[in-house]
Amino acid sequence: MKVKRISLWSVDLTSHEIYYMAESKTCDTVKSHVLCLETDMGLKGWGEVCPIPHYLPAFADGVPSAITEMAPEILGTSPFGVDAAMRRLDGFLQGHLHAKSIVDMALWDLFGKATEQPLYALLGGRTNVDMPLYHSITCVAPDEMARIATEAFATGIRQFQVKLGVGVDWQADAERLIKVREAVGDGPLVYGDWNCGATKLHATRTGRAVSHLDIMLEQPCKTLEECAAVRQATGLPMKIDEGAFDLASLIHAAELGVLDAVALKLSKFGGLSAMRRARDLSVHLGAEICSECSWGSDIVTAASLHFAASTPQGALINTCDLSSYVCPRIAPDCPTRINGRIAPPEGAGLGVTPDLETLGTPILELD
């Protein structure tokens, strides 16, 4: 069984509401790419990547060029043994991990379909029947963020990511965290995320103002060393996101004492193959894992859910149903949240079927 055809689509995903982050970053309508790898046996494997602006050192419009460049190595590839195929691609084209992640995902989907196994079985076996979700709250006025948290709490959500940094006012950020914590009460996980947009001073003042509360901080500063200084000054646990992108960065974060939790994202690591290795190391280092991607719809959500379902119990902090934040839905059969939790799709491979009418006409076809 070999890959004989490559098809690529571009789909604009629009957030249900404009998403505000630190340093004047916003996420409204962004471009997602969907890949189909078809074999000579008629099986189709699907992948998706959506590198939102300001987050990854990645250019969404570069995905078609990268796929075209890698096409000679992709065509003729067997879906049996995805790690080997991805190592060949790494040797053929250095970097461009976001573009490789979409290929890796599609190959894993093919592997699952060829063996008639759900992806979580191939990623280590199912250890979680369903997984807790976190709800990400856009950085707006503190009272409005508390209202959003209250609404999400009523649906069963018990983990809340509070975006911070809009307006560069540390007191406003502290109020955001305090108001959300008050809204959801004791017990639920609440963490403030600057997406690297805070100075050490800003993050430290905010952290000290809420240090009497059960709060975690997420990647306040651009460097791991700055994050370590904030953790030491505030005494609050730390989750690393942007600063964790390969095995070396995970080890460095652990050495600095900031790897209480970590966001493992498919597009950041280059797909499921590399992220599985990162998961094993994270578990060894004692970090709790968030399984997700940078942005996207149903296909990338399905991959994240399978990864989360196969993550060892006690090592998974949460996952994210990215498709619930955007429209259109690319694969309407992808699972949705139920009482604050979500289960992976059933069926072979990813277990989701993209809607070809939603995808429209491919922007690239190679065979």
- Residues taking part in catalysis: 163, 265
Choose among 314, 312, 290: nearest CA to 216: 290
Please, is 281 exposed, middle or buried when counting C-beta atoms within 10 Å of its C-beta (0-12, 13-18, 19+)? middle
What is the crossing angle of helices 272-285 and 82-92, to 10°?
Answer: 100
Choose among 159, 126, 147: nearest CA to 337: 159
Q: Which two tokens stand for residue 44?
A: 């189709």
Displacement of CA 318 from its chain's centroid (Å) = 11
Choose among 104, 51, 157, 129: nearest CA to 346: 129
* Residue whose token pair is 């992806």: 119
Cα separation, 49 vs 272, whole angstroms: 12
Single-letter code of the amino acid located at 338:
I
Element (H, E) at 6: strand 3-20
* Contact between 104 and 300 (Cβ < 8 Å): no
Beta strands in 117-267 (DSSP E): 131-132, 135-137, 159-163, 189-193, 216-218, 238-240, 261-265
Cα separation, 29 vs 38, whole angstroms: 29
The end-to-end CA distance of the chain, in Å, is 15
The maximal CA–CA distance of the chain, rounded, in angstroms, is 61
Choose among 291, 315, 302: nearest CA to 343: 302
Q: Which two tokens stand for residue 16?
A: 């249900």
